Amino acid sequence: MHEQRIRKAEDADLQEIIRVWKSNIKTINTASDIADLFHSFKKYFFVAVATSADTSFEDRVIGFVGGAIRGGHGHISGIAVDKEYRMKGIGKDLLKVAEHEFIAKGFDKVTLEVRKSNRGAIGFYEKHGYKFLYIVKGYYADGENAIVYEKKI
């Protein structure tokens, strides 16, 4: 049987984090942008791995959350779960561990940006207590607006 668990990201996870990030998030972040974030804020990166009792099956990264510190508070730079593993609560668990790490470090809020068209992620964040803050016009390279969300933790 396959299960999923969440753990802190390690250096060896970076290539898989880049894969999950670039294949699930409409982003202009290059692999080297993602690597820079990872090296600056590794403490706030977690991965979801699919594991199996069958030892011939290697643990595989199927999701990640990338936290950061921005302007003296917590920030979610990216979160994604591979399509076939979505809607099982993995996104929720990833968001929780990042939020707990921010709380442990004494931060009292978390912010994030999301594309205005990303209804799925917006529904997900609102469900988890994130509140609309403001719109940043043309935030993304293709001209799309970003919505900034905030959660008090």
Ligand X SMILES: CC(C)(COP(=O)(O)OP(=O)(O)OC[C@H]1O[C@@H](n2cnc3c(N)ncnc32)[C@H](O)[C@@H]1OP(=O)(O)O)[C@@H](O)C(=O)NCCC(=O)NCCS
Check residue 88 for interaction with ligand X (CB under 6 A). Answer: yes
Check residue 66 for interaction with ligand X (CB under 6 A). Answer: no
20 vs 23: CA distance, rounded Å: 5
Q: What is the number of the residue whose Cβ is closest to ligand X?
A: 91
String of contacts with ligand X for each residue 11-40, x by CB under 6 A: -------------xx---------------
- Closer of 54 and 142 to ligand X (Cβ): 142
37 vs 21: CA distance, rounded Å: 12
Candidates 11-19, 75-83, 98-106, 133-141: pick the segment binding ligand X (CB under 6 A).
Answer: 75-83
How would you label 109-119 residue by residue, b for 16+ Cβ within 10 Å and e otherwise? ebbbbbbeebe
Cα 107 from chain centre? 18
Among 123, 131, 135, 136, binds ligand X (CB under 6 A): 123
Integer-rounded Cα Rg, in Å, for the chain is 15
Check residue 111 for interaction with ligand X (CB under 6 A). Answer: no
